[in-house]
């Protein structure tokens, strides 16, 4: 009996310890765990929203940097918060739904936190800190689900952890800018698409399994050699040394396996001995002993800890929180900037974030856009627009806004959120924004059919053929209704829209119009508003420097006349030269009773007499909207009433009742980015012309993930609608127009091209060319059929 107790006592003590620890962990709520985590940090000003009186996933009170799904914490996005101290791993282990963590761009130091028990993580971002020391070889052995690992820009030393080769689901691995040494393990991971081991102290031959990656992935490792390094193939001695090292690594692995096997055998022998002794005792026990033991066994099972694993996939993926790009001397600077802004405004997300203002379509973040492929859509008075296609194929429009420094971050946030809450069938609301002092990004839904301007004057294909009279009338009514809604919801604005023109009317399914670029008047610098906003070209603005709601009505009238006549309005051009003065032409035609002569032949020649009468009546509505005196113009309610009367005469139903327009749910940082498949690495150099001049490109938003590559001296330039000199915002590559979004914002390329060419390119423009791109060969332009 005494011997039996002595044998069992260590195991019982160990079991009770496990039960106690497990119970304590399971009993810790996510609320308690996050507060415990916060206490382990220093300089927690950016975490002021982590208030004990609120809920981490409480909707409007949701804690900053905490990503939730269905009330469960699935991610922590704490990059750039200026945090330091120790990371309480036990608090992280209490978050059973946690799938992604980001502590990048902070000031953590010391050894890497022991995250080995967080085997369910899919994304880990610890880049741009001061972590140091060696990473244990088996550190990642249990992280079977890990897909994204960013440890770049730290001070790690020693060999690369051999357990990295066990991460069979790994997609991204960034270990650049550390002090890793030794050889590169054989990462035979087919899913791996991004690899960066540059700027370390690695040596030996690059494994054949990694030969598919660009040489830049291994740059600045002086003692590395391999076939992909054209000027540094391995010598025989390198291969011998590498074989010895790998033999040693294999030997260590065999020894570790043998030790584990022996430990299992010993444990099994001990277990058999204990069972044998227990069985011998049972043979001599009295009746009832078996039932007592059975009851004790049941009690032990009931008291055993139960670990609950929360599954939050539900057709979603895991969060990605890396704000970084591939490189970095400026990474520390950017992190400092972000941290400074976060400390100054705890209620508003940090500057490095995408701030969602309309989450009905889903949630995404800056990493989604940094990984997105993009192409230039156009350039206007407010800024440049880009189509960004994210990793899962969802497209959005990113507008890079200029001249918007009149408001601080809090005021800008309030204004954009106000626009994001609008809800009308003919008004396209913003989805999100990104704030920086110098310039801002506003993200909205991508509408495939493009703008009304392009459909009227640029596209003469099947879409243009479908632009019949009934479709045009539907578009006019939809625009009027959308403008009327803005005049009601933004009635306090002098100009609820301010920039209404055909290029700011997008066409959704069934040609339902969607108004964009509205409500920005309070945000634009007063010195720039007259140049940026079309409403400031109205008679009252040019003559008396005065605008009001009726200025928007004037702009609506221009669109009505443009749709009916098919003419490009000269009012859209800053100089007023070019195009057609539709206001004057229509006024003259009405006075001479020859309205039908001005109608677009594409609709007037193939329609009934009744429809022709409708067109003439709508032409009069457009003329009324463009009266010189604002007092003589109808308000939006009157315009809508008159258009609906015209539409009812033709037996058409009023538009705006359909519910077909819907965008796919956008990728979500709450639970999705770690599962997305990024674009494979691209070339790392940009060459222009025959001299292959290499330009160093860097965007204001941070380092590019990779530079662009052009093999020819062909740059696609799009014509500027107001005839200002062509600027660098119009550049996109002809050969490969889809690249990373922030790699397309090439702010200095045109100036450099002009220096190379020796003179500024000149071109002649007419209104008919508006949406026709031009190809630049040297200093000569020719018309392109591509649009």
Q: Is the pLDDT of residue 5 over 50?
A: no
Within this chain, do residues 710 and 643 fall inside the same structural domain, yes or no?
no
| Confidence (pLDDT) at 461 | 56
| Confidence (pLDDT) at 252 | 62
Q: Is the pLDDT of residue 132 over 60?
A: yes
| Confidence (pLDDT) at 95 | 92
Spatial distance between the Cα atoms of 66 and 55, rounded to a whole number of angstroms = 11
Geometric angle at alpha carbon 519, from 513 and 525, rounded to 5°: 135
In a domain, 746, yes or no: yes
Helix (H) or strand (E) holding 753: helix 749-757
pLDDT, tens digit (0-9, with 9 covering 90-100), for 24-56: 333 468 889 999 999 999 988 889 889 888 888
| Confidence (pLDDT) at 59 | 66
Which domain range does residue 277 map to?
Answer: 250-300
| Confidence (pLDDT) at 510 | 83
Helix (H) or strand (E) holding 158: strand 155-159
> What average pLDDT does this structure show over 568-576?
79
Confidence band of 266 (pLDDT split at 50, 70, 90): confident
In a domain, 445, yes or no: no
Q: Under 8 Å CB-to-CB from 573, ≥6 apart: which residues?
A: 579, 721, 722, 723, 767
> What average pLDDT does this structure show over 399-427?
88
Within this chain, do residues 202 and 54 fall inside the same structural domain, yes or no?
yes
pLDDT, tens digit (0-9, with 9 covering 90-100), for 349-365: 444 578 898 877 777 77
| Confidence (pLDDT) at 558 | 95
pLDDT, tens digit (0-9, with 9 covering 90-100), for 198-253: 999 999 888 888 888 888 888 889 889 887 776 666 765 444 444 444 445 555 66
In a domain, 372, yes or no: no
Confidence band of 787 (pLDDT split at 50, 70, 90): very low
| Confidence (pLDDT) at 104 | 93
In a domain, 239, yes or no: no
If one counts every other C-beta atom within 10 angstroms of the C-beta of residue 596, the result is 13
Q: Is the pLDDT of residue 639 over 90?
A: yes
Spatial distance between the Cα atoms of 495 and 487, rounded to a whole number of angstroms = 8
Q: Is the pLDDT of residue 118 over 80?
A: yes
In a domain, 194, yes or no: yes
Spatial distance between the Cα atoms of 367 and 371, rounded to a whole number of angstroms = 6
Domain tally, the chain: 4
Within this chain, do residues 602 and 699 fall inside the same structural domain, yes or no?
no
Confidence band of 609 (pLDDT split at 50, 70, 90): confident
| Confidence (pLDDT) at 439 | 77
Domain boundary among 617, 647, 662: 662
Q: Is the pLDDT of residue 502 over 90?
A: yes
Indicate which CATH number applies to the domain containing 591. 1.10.510.10
Q: Which of 14-18, 307-311, 680-684, 752-756 has the lowest mean pLDDT?
A: 307-311
In a domain, 131, yes or no: yes
Q: What is the CA radius of gyration of the chain?
A: 33
pLDDT, tens digit (0-9, with 9 covering 90-100), for 165-210: 889 899 999 999 999 999 998 878 888 988 999 999 999 888 888 8
Q: Which residue has the tokens 């282990």?
A: 93
Question: DSSP 3-state helix, strand, coil percentages of the chain (rounded to 5)?
Answer: 40, 15, 45
Spatial distance between the Cα atoms of 566 and 458, rounded to a whole number of angstroms = 11
Q: Is the pLDDT of residue 758 over 90?
A: no
| Confidence (pLDDT) at 294 | 37
Indicate which CATH number applies to the domain containing 54. 3.80.10.10
| β-pairing verdict for 383-389 and 774-777 | unpaired
Within this chain, do residues 111 and 214 fall inside the same structural domain, yes or no?
yes
| Confidence (pLDDT) at 200 | 95
Q: Do residues 103 and 152 touch, judged by C-beta distance below 8 A?
A: no
Distance of CA 356 to the CA centre of its chain: 11
Q: Is the pLDDT of residue 743 over 60?
A: no
Confidence band of 652 (pLDDT split at 50, 70, 90): low
Q: Is the pLDDT of residue 295 over 80?
A: no
Residues in the chain: 787
In a domain, 258, yes or no: yes
Within this chain, do residues 191 and 280 fall inside the same structural domain, yes or no?
no
Q: Do residues 230 and 237 touch, judged by C-beta distance below 8 A?
A: no
Q: Is the pLDDT of residue 283 over 70?
A: no
The residue among 426 and 27 whose pLDDT is bigger is 426
Backbone angles phi, psi at 775, to 5 degrees: -100, 130
| Confidence (pLDDT) at 705 | 31
| Confidence (pLDDT) at 436 | 85
Q: Is the pLDDT of residue 406 over 60?
A: yes
Q: Is the pLDDT of residue 432 over 70?
A: yes
Within this chain, do residues 229 and 261 fall inside the same structural domain, yes or no?
no
Distance of CA 651 to the CA centre of its chain: 45
Burial 96-130 (b: 16+ CB within 10 A, else e): bbbbbbbbbbbbbeeebbebeebebbbbbbbbbbe
Domain boundary among 180, 208, 234: 234
| Confidence (pLDDT) at 610 | 79
> What average pLDDT does this structure show over 508-533?
87
Within this chain, do residues 100 and 150 fall inside the same structural domain, yes or no?
yes
Distance of CA 716 to the CA centre of its chain: 25
Within this chain, do residues 623 and 769 fall inside the same structural domain, yes or no?
no
Q: Is the backbone of residue 303 left (phi > 0), alpha (psi -120 to 50) or beta?
A: alpha
At residue 745, the 3 state secondary structure works out as: coil
- What percent of the chain has a predicted confidence (pLDDT) above 90? 31
Distance of CA 208 to the CA centre of its chain: 34
| β-pairing verdict for 72-77 and 66-69 | antiparallel
Q: What is the mean pLDDT of the chain?
A: 71
| Confidence (pLDDT) at 130 | 94
pLDDT, tens digit (0-9, with 9 covering 90-100), for 683-696: 333 222 223 222 22
Spatial distance between the Cα atoms of 231 and 250, rounded to a whole number of angstroms = 30
Spatial distance between the Cα atoms of 393 and 702, rounded to a whole number of angstroms = 24
Q: Is the backbone of residue 240 left (phi > 0), alpha (psi -120 to 50) or beta?
A: alpha
Within this chain, do residues 198 and 269 fall inside the same structural domain, yes or no?
no
Geometric angle at alpha carbon 348, from 343 and 349, rounded to 5°: 80
Spatial distance between the Cα atoms of 341 and 609, rounded to a whole number of angstroms = 64
Within this chain, do residues 216 and 293 fall inside the same structural domain, yes or no?
no
> What average pLDDT does this structure show over 714-732?
30
In a domain, 178, yes or no: yes
pTM of structure? 0.46
Confidence band of 473 (pLDDT split at 50, 70, 90): very high
> What average pLDDT does this structure show over 742-759?
41
Within this chain, do residues 86 and 222 fall inside the same structural domain, yes or no?
yes
pLDDT, tens digit (0-9, with 9 covering 90-100), for 573-600: 876 567 888 999 999 999 888 888 899 9
> What average pLDDT does this structure show over 423-433?
93
Q: Is the pLDDT of residue 309 over 60?
A: no
> What average pLDDT does this structure show over 466-492?
93
Within this chain, do residues 229 and 285 fall inside the same structural domain, yes or no?
no
Q: Is the pLDDT of residue 313 over 80?
A: no
């Amino acid at each position: 009996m005494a011997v039996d107790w002595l044998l069992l006592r260590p195991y019982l003590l160990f079991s009770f310890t496990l039960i106690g620890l497990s119970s304590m962990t399971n009993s810790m709520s996510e609320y308690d765990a996050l507060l415990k985590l916060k206490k382990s940090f220093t300089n927690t000003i950016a975490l002021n929203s982590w208030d004990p009186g609120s809920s981490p996933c409480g909707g409007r009170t949701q804690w900053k940097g905490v990503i939730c799904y269905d009330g469960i914490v699935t991610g922590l996005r704490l990059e750039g918060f200026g945090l330091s101290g120790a990371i309480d791993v036990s608090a992280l282990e209490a978050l059973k739904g946690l799938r992604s963590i980001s502590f990048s761009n902070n000031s953590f130091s010391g050894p890497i936190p022991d995250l080995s028990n967080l085997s369910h993580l899919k994304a880990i971002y610890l880049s741009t800190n001061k972590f140091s020391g060696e990473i244990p070889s088996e550190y990642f052995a249990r992280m079977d689900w890990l897909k994204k690992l960013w440890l770049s820009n730290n001070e790690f030393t020693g060999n690369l952890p051999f357990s990295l080769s066990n991460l069979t689901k790994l997609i991204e691995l960034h270990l650049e800018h550390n002090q890793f040494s030794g050889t590169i393990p054989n990462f035979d991971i087919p899913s791996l698409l991004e690899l960066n081991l540059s700027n370390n102290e690695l040596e030996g031959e690059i494994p054949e399994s990694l030969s598919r990656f660009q040489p830049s992935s291994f740059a600045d490792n002086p003692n590395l050699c391999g076939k992909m390094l054209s000027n540094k193939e391995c010598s025989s001695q390198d291969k011998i040394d590498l074989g010895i090292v790998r033999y040693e690594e294999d030997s260590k692995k065999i020894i570790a396996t043998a030790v584990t096997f022996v430990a299992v055998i010993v444990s099994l022998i001990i277990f058999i001995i204990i069972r044998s002794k227990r069985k011998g005792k049972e043979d001599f026990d009295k009746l009832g002993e078996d039932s007592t033991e059975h009851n004790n066994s049941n009690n032990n099972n009931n008291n055993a800890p139960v670990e609950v694993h929360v599954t939050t996939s539900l057709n979603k993926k895991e969060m990605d929180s890396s704000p970084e790009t591939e490189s970095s001397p400026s990474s520390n600077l950017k992190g400092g900037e972000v941290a400074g802004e976060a400390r100054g405004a705890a209620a508003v997300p940090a500057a490095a974030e995408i701030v969602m203002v309309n989450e009905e379509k889903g949630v995404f973040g800056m990493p989604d856009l940094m990984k997105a492929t993009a192409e230039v859509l156009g350039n206007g008075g407010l800024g440049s627009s880009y189509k960004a296609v994210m990793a899962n194929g969802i497209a959005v429009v990113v507008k890079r806004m200029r001249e918007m420094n009149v408001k601080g971050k809090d005021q800008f946030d309030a204004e954009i959120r106000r626009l994001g809450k609008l809800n009308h069938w003919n008004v396209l609301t913003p989805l999100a924004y990104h704030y920086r002092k110098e310039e801002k990004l506003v993200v909205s839904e991508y509408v495939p059919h493009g703008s009304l301007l392009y459909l009227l004057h640029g596209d003469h294909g099947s879409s243009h053929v479908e632009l019949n009279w009934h479709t045009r009338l539907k578009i006019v009514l939809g625009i009027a209704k959308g403008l009327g809604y803005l005049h009601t919801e933004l009635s306090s604005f002098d100009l609820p829209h301010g920039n209404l023109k055909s290029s700011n009317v997008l066409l959704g399914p069934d040609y339902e119009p969607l108004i964009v670029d509205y409500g920005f008047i309070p945000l634009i610098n007063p010195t720039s508003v007259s140049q940026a906003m079309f409403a400031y070209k109205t008679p009252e603005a040019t003559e008396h420097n005065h605008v009001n709601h009726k200025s928007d009505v004037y702009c609506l009238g221009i669109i009505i006349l443009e749709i009916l006549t098919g003419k490009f309005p000269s009012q859209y051009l800053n100089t007023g030269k070019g195009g057609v003065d539709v206001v004057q032409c229509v006024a003259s035609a009405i006075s001479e009773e020859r309205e039908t002569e001005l109608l677009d032949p594409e609709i007037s020649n193939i329609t009934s007499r009744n429809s022709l009468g409708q067109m003439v009546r709508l032409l009069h509505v457009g003329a009324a909207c463009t009266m010189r005196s604002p007092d003589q113009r109808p308000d939006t309610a009157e315009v809508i009433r008159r258009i609906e009367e015209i539409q009812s005469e033709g037996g058409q139903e009023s538009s705006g009742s359909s519910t077909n327009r819907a965008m796919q749910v956008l990728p979500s940082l709450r639970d999705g980015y770690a599962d997305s498949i990024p674009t494979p690495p691209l070339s790392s150099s940009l060459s222009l012309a025959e001299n292959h001049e290499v330009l160093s490109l860097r965007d204001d938003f941070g380092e590019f993930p990779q530079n662009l590559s052009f093999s020819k001296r062909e740059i696609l330039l799009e014509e500027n609608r107001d005839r200002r000199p062509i600027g660098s915002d119009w550049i996109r590559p002809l050969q490969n127009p889809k690249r990373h979004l922030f790699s397309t914002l090439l702010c200095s390329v045109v100036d450099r091209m002009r220096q190379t060419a020796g003179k500024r390119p000149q071109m002649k423009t007419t209104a008919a060319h508006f949406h026709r791109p031009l190809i630049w060969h040297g200093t000569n332009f020719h018309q392109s059929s591509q649009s």
